Structure 1
Amino acid sequence: MRWWDIDPVLELERDLFPEDAWSRGMFWSELAHARGTTATRRYLVALAGGRLVGYAGLATAGDQADIQTIAVARDHWGTGLGSTLLTELLSAASEFECVEVMLECRVDNVRAQKLYERHGFAPIGFRRGYYQPGNVDALVMRLTTESDGGIAAGPASVQGTEIDG
């Protein structure tokens, strides 16, 4: 993701997460930490036919990573794009030498929970009222390092979609 991606990202963000959409400033702040030799973030966009159809972000601190966001345009649901974006973030976590990846997911977002479970994430708790202003609880999930030394990841390809980090 680059600064010129922020406007189309915001359009998708507002469509998918109308109650708790990130602001322009939040994305700018995350991107500021995604470049250079001291980068602690990885943000990606997915393009299909020149149109932004998905994005995802990961933050790291020491040996722990946190999935910040994953979003896929409604007309691309069920195509495997969410899985591809998640796989790319898990690869980034390995590059950052993280031994565990955490995330929060709305308790009412069963589609996302199933995606994370397919990739080896397990529920470990809840954050009450995490998503505001709707006061929706978050399910906290965690993925730990596999025995071969890397973060577990599933398949990573969707035909006709370009992932750009």
Structure 2
Amino acid sequence: MLAGPSHASLLAALHADCFDESERWGEAAFSGLFATPGIVAWIVLEGESPAGLLMLRQGADEAEILTLGVRPQYRRKNLASRLLETGCATLETHGATTLFLEVSVRNDAAVALYLKLGFALCGRRKAYYPDGSDASVLSYDLTSVTR
């Protein structure tokens, strides 16, 4: 389901369930992001329950994943993959050619998911996260016919 500014509270609640306290974004953060150009977000449902979220930002032909998370009780049900498929399809229709993201080098499950989906490692940001961990920078070619 497409999310907008009216969903900022729900997005914040989802984010709080998906991430450690130091990494959580509040309602004000989501509201502020929706006020900037190029933002699009989705909420994935499991039955009728909000189970996860994806927020992207597009600028010209590049886009980035700002956040992607699935509540712990709904993980390993391909919900993150579904969110990414929806996001990538939308980005393609809006002319994006490359999608980027940062992910903690400590988040083995997320790194494995992104690599499985065809993302490629393209860099590293030292001490990027509040806990001091590095971030792997990954990219995804939205124009590739071999995906």
TM superposition score normalised by structure 2: 0.88
List gaps (5 residues or longer) in structure 2: none
- For residue 31 of structure 2, what is the aligned residue in structure 1? 28
Describe the SS at the equivalent of 1:91: helix
Equivalent position of 1:8 in the other structure: 10
Q: Are 1:42 and 2:40 an aligned pair? A: yes
What is the CA-CA distance between 1:147 and the residue it aligns to?
A: 4.3
- State the alpha-carbon separation in 2 of the partners of residues 93 and 63 from structure 1: 9
Residue matched to 1:162 = none
Q: Is the 8 A contact 2:101 2:138 kept in 1?
A: yes
Residues 47, 147 of structure 1: alpha-carbon distance in 2 compared, 3 angstrom cutoff: closer
Q: What is residue 81 of structure 2 aligned with on the other side?
A: 83
- Which structure is richer in relative contact order (CA contacts within 8 A, separation 6 or more)? 1
Cross-structure match for 1:19: 22
- 2:123 maps to which of 112, 122, 125: 125
| Matched-pair identity in % | 26
Superposed CA RMSD = 1.8
Cα distance in 1 between the residues matched to 2:11 and 2:98? 27
Give unpaired runs (5+ residues) of structure 1: 34-38, 153-165
- Give the TM-score of the pair, scaled to structure 1: 0.79
> Which amino acid in structure 2 is aligned with residue 104 of structure 1?
E
CA deviation after TM superposition for structure 1 residue 6, in Å: 2.4
C-alpha distance in 2, partners of 1:86/1:2?
A: 17
What amino acid maps onto 1:109 in structure 2? N
Number of aligned positions between the proteins: 144
Q: Is 1:144 matched up with 2:141?
A: yes
Q: Whose helix fraction is larger, Structure 1's or Structure 2's?
A: 2
Equivalent-residue separation in structure 2 for 1:126 and 1:147 (angstroms): 23
- Counterpart of 2:132 in structure 1 is 135
Equivalent residues of 2:11, 2:27 under 8 A apart: no
TM superposition outliers: structure 1 runs of 4+ over 6 Å: none
